[in-house]
Amino acid sequence: MTEAEKVLWDKIRKRKINGRKFRRQYISSGFVIDVYSPELKMAIEVDGGYHSGEDQKVYDRERQRIFESIGIKVLRFKNKEVFLSIDRVVRSIGKAAQKHSRSSPL
């Protein structure tokens, strides 16, 4: 895990978000998801600087399209957001988890 992923993980592990379980470094469709909730079918990606390159952006979009095609909701945050605004990031995840859990059967 990157440092940003570790910071985020500390805030959401042990069912700290709406009582939902998240897993680190989860594999789906041959890809590693930074943080994933099987209950919600929600992926959380924490993007470092290398995600700003054009080739990586294309790869990330295709990967996200694959996840969404199998019903996985993807949330993306930049490392900087995690380091500077972790509370806002956690609130965003909580809101998305609440909304996503209402819209899809568990």
pTM over 0.75: yes
pLDDT at 20 (0 to 100): 93
pLDDT at 51 (0 to 100): 59
Q: Given pLDDT bands bounded at 50, 70 and 90, which one contains residue 106?
A: very low
| Three-state secondary-structure class, residue 101 | helix
Mean pLDDT score across all residues of the chain: 90
- Round to whole Å and give the CA distance between 73 and 71: 6
pLDDT at 105 (0 to 100): 53
Average pLDDT on 28-57 reads: 87
Range 3-100 has CATH code 3.30.70.141: no
pLDDT(69) > 70: yes
Average pLDDT on 41-51 reads: 85
Nearest to 28 by CA among 77, 72, 60: 72
Average pLDDT on 40-66 reads: 86
Q: Using H for helix, E for strand and C for coil, what is the string for 30-74? A: CEEEEEEECCCCEEEEEECHHHHCHHHHHHHHHHHHHHHHCCCEE
